[in-house]
Amino acid sequence: MEQINIIKPDDWHVHFRDGEILKAVVPKTTRHFARSIVMPNLIPPILNGRDALKYKKRIENAIPKDEKFKPFMTIYLTENTDKKELKESYKNGSVFAVKLYPAGATTNSDSGVKDLRKVMPVLETMEETGIPLLIHGEATDTEIDIFDREKVFIDKSLDYICRNFPELKITLEHITTEEAAKYVLAGNENLAATVTPHHLALNRNSIFLGGIRPHHFCLPILKREKHRKALLEVVTSKNNKKFFLGTDTAPHLSTDKESSCGCAGIFNAPYCLPIITQIFDNANALSSLESFVSLNGANHYKINYNKSKITLRKNSMQLSFKKSLKLKNAEIIIFQPGFPIYWNVIN
Ligand code: DOR
Ligand code: ZN
């Protein structure tokens, strides 16, 4: 039986939501991950250090007693973000990073940024102070084809931000295209990217496999096979330093996804590590797994590696997946990649 032992992973991009969903999903992340960056796109969004601290307390209350887990909080960048308050909140530790959603790009992004020029002074303060900027990299003009939104954002907005703020620490979140991978590789050391398990596992055909599959709908939307392969290549590469795991685990009630206007988001926390390990194994790249899930993100954010370790084991029997996470009167469907998974976390 094959076994690997690696530094405990971090998930650098999670959606924990709030209330009953938060209580149900937090333990699914804390089981396998030591730390996470928590997205601020609640309704209403987390806009300042005070809200971030209150939200952090609600998350901490949902962590199982026998587990150690650190949530890193973010605020949602708007055209009215207060530079001074942000700087103080970063310095006193209540805010770890700032999330830029172009207005209308995804779930609960209505109060996002419409005009980049209006947030340039905040980005300048962030560059000076060392506050990381996390970017949902999709252009939102409705005339742009949904499959081209990431590429257009890179050309029109990301490049502008990178050129103006070379010292700003930037994470291009959940990249989905060959163009994004190449842009990040060519960028300076302050630019890195997160990659999700679903974008490594699936291409856009899986949204339409025999009918419409709402549980494979996320944003940025899944792309062509050549893009999935490009992502796989960069994350499994021996010298990968710039790409790390951000699962974008994004729970929605099944009724909100199986609807005439279904929500974007894939809830992948429960089996994320077994799936990622299988993907690396299938690519003969298990030796690069630890960099992707446990080291590169910590290096990018200039924080220590986790001290504890986890062990993964390859079994002869396929992992059997639970189909959903049950809530009181609802359920959240759990991501299944559609190929066999033999790996599991054993401690
Ligand atoms: O698919 C997605 N779901 N992409 C995002 O960027 C947001 C997320 C959510 O909050 O549901
Ligand atoms: Zn997200």
pLDDT value of position 46: 97
From CA 19, how far away is CA 27, in angstroms rounded? Answer: 14
pLDDT value of position 243: 98
Q: What is the CATH number of the domain that holds 33?
A: 3.20.20.140
Whether residue 340 has pLDDT greater than 90: yes
From CA 313, how far away is CA 254, in angstroms rounded? Answer: 31
Number of helices (H), then strands (E), belonging to the chain: the values are 13, 13
Strands (E), the chain: 2-7, 11-14, 35-38, 70-76, 97-100, 133-135, 170-172, 191-195, 243-245, 309-314, 324-326, 331-333, 343-345
pLDDT value of position 332: 98
Residue type, 193: A
Please state at what angle helix 178-186 crosses helix 225-236, rounded to 10 degrees: 30
Q: How confident is the model at residue 139 (pLDDT cuts 50, 70, 90)?
A: very high
From CA 305, how far away is CA 330, in angstroms rounded? Answer: 37
Query: Rounded mean pLDDT of 266-273?
Result: 98
Query: Rounded mean pLDDT of 14-26?
Result: 98
Minimum-distance ligand 1 atom for the alpha carbon of 266: 1
Q: Cβ distance 34 to 71 under 8 Å?
A: no
Query: Can you give the residue range of the structural domain that contains 207?
Result: 2-345
Q: What is the mean pLDDT of the chain?
A: 97
From CA 109, how far away is CA 119, in angstroms rounded? Answer: 16
Query: Rounded mean pLDDT of 96-120?
Result: 91
Residue 103 CA to its chain's centroid (Å): 18
Q: How confident is the model at residue 33 (pLDDT cuts 50, 70, 90)?
A: very high
Return the residue matching tokens 């996804």: 257
Query: Rounded mean pLDDT of 63-78?
Result: 97
Minimum-distance ligand 1 atom for the alpha carbon of 39: 10
Instruction: Kindly report which listed range (31-35, 111-115, 246-250, 308-312) carries the lowest average pLDDT score.
Output: 111-115
Whether residue 247 has pLDDT greater than 90: yes
Please state at what angle helix 120-129 crosses helix 83-91, rounded to 10 degrees: 20
**C-alpha distances out from residue 171 to 20, 136, 165, 175, 190, Å:** 30, 9, 13, 10, 8
Minimum-distance ligand 1 atom for the alpha carbon of 101: 6
Looking at residue 249, the DSSP 8-state letter turns out to be B
Q: Which of 16, 37, 106, 108 to mutate to test the pocket of ligand 1 (most atoms within 8 A of CB)?
A: 106
Question: How far away, in angstroms, is 221 Cα from ligand 1 center?
Answer: 10
Whether residue 105 has pLDDT greater than 90: no
User: Could you give the number of structural domains in the chain?
Assistant: 1
Catalytic residue check, 248: yes
For residue range 195-215, list pLDDT tens digits in order.
999 999 999 999 999 999 999
pLDDT value of position 106: 80
Q: Which among 201, 196, 192, 197 is positioned nearest to 296, based on CA atoms?
A: 192
Query: Rounded mean pLDDT of 304-330?
Result: 97
Catalytic annotation, pick one of 10, 11, 51, 248: 248
Check pocket membership of 291 for ligand 1, CB cut-off 6 A.
Answer: no
Whether residue 107 has pLDDT greater than 80: no
